[in-house]
Amino acid sequence: MRIAVLLLLTAATVSAVSCQELRSQQPRGVASRKATSQTDSIGRIFRDLLVEVADAGELPRLDSTTLLSGVRREIRVYSIGVGQPYRVARLVQHTHGVDGQFGLFWPVLRARDGHASPYDEERSRNDRAFDAQVRAWADTAYDCRVIKQSRAMNVCWLAPRAGRVVWPQLLARLDSLGIDSIPSPVRPIVGADGWGIIVEVRSAARYRAYLYYMPDSTSAETGERASAGIWTAAYEAFMRRVGR
């Protein structure tokens, strides 16, 4: 699936609602300080993608929310561009430990019913068939029986499986790679095909988001190597969760 096509399908945005998973495990109340925002120029299309995943997944937007009392940091790592559904890892660091969850997401394909054009009608049939295939695959491979949906995005949160993922260890690995502070990419995003990683980090004092397109673990650029390591760490943890 072309990254450009995925992102163009996320144009519609609606208000995010409160999170039902993980948030219930965190202390109630709102942090007294608002974090400063640094988007690192990820671009409007990529920002729309993050908004839609948050909306469909019933999460607050990290670029405009404040952390709950007792929450020190929240990290979201998105893997896009290598087949559907795509993956997101969410880690919440709070005063009594680290919690996390994995999710799958893929764009809602717009129905074209009611149009006179035979081409539009055929595209609608193909889109519905493709969406049914993705849903069936998510259900069969990942037990995604509860799929949340916004106007532009489908999201399924994977149920926890005891002992599969040690979230404090994953966070320690991400921190060792400098997930909070790696530089923004030097080389521009190029190509319509391929894969990428988007990282959001929200602390009490700061927000930032950055994107790396096909990061190279052997690159001379520090950010390239670190972001490749972040992608690998999230992927390996995800595979442990699904038992592969």
- Quick: pLDDT tens for 86-99: 999 999 999 999 99
Q: pLDDT digit string (tens) for 147-189?
A: 999 889 999 999 988 888 999 999 999 999 999 999 888 766 6
Give the whole-angstrom CA distance, residue 148 versus residue 200. 21
Which of 8 and 160 is assigned the larger pLDDT?
160
| Phi, psi at 163, each rounded to 5° | 85, -5
Q: State residue 62 phi and psi, 5-degree precision.
A: -70, -25
Q: List, in sequence order, every residue forming a beta bridge with 93; answer none if it has no partner.
A: 73, 98
Eight-state DSSP code of residue 199 = E
Q: Report the predicted TM-score, pTM, of the whole model to 2 decimal places.
A: 0.82
Four-point Cα dihedral 221, 227, 230, 231, nearest 10: -120
Q: What is the pLDDT of residues 11-53, one digit of tens each?
A: 333 223 233 334 433 332 333 344 555 555 688 888 999 999 9
Q: Which pLDDT belongs to residue 40?
A: 59
- Write down the pLDDT at residue 25: 38
pLDDT for res 36: 54
Q: Are 164 and 156 contacting, i.e. CB atoms less than 8 angstroms apart?
A: no
Kindly report, residue by residue over 98-140, the tens digit of the pLDDT.
Answer: 999 999 999 987 665 555 677 777 888 888 888 889 999 999 9
- What's residue 44's pLDDT? 85
CA atoms of 199 and 50, how far apart (whole Å): 10
CA distance 31 to 49: 26
Q: Kindly state the average pLDDT of the residues 204-219.
A: 92
Residue 86: which of 1, 192, 212 has the closest Cα? Answer: 1
List 101's β-bridge partners, or say none. 90
Please count the CA atoms within 13 angstroms of the CA of 102 that sit on its side-chain side. Answer: 28
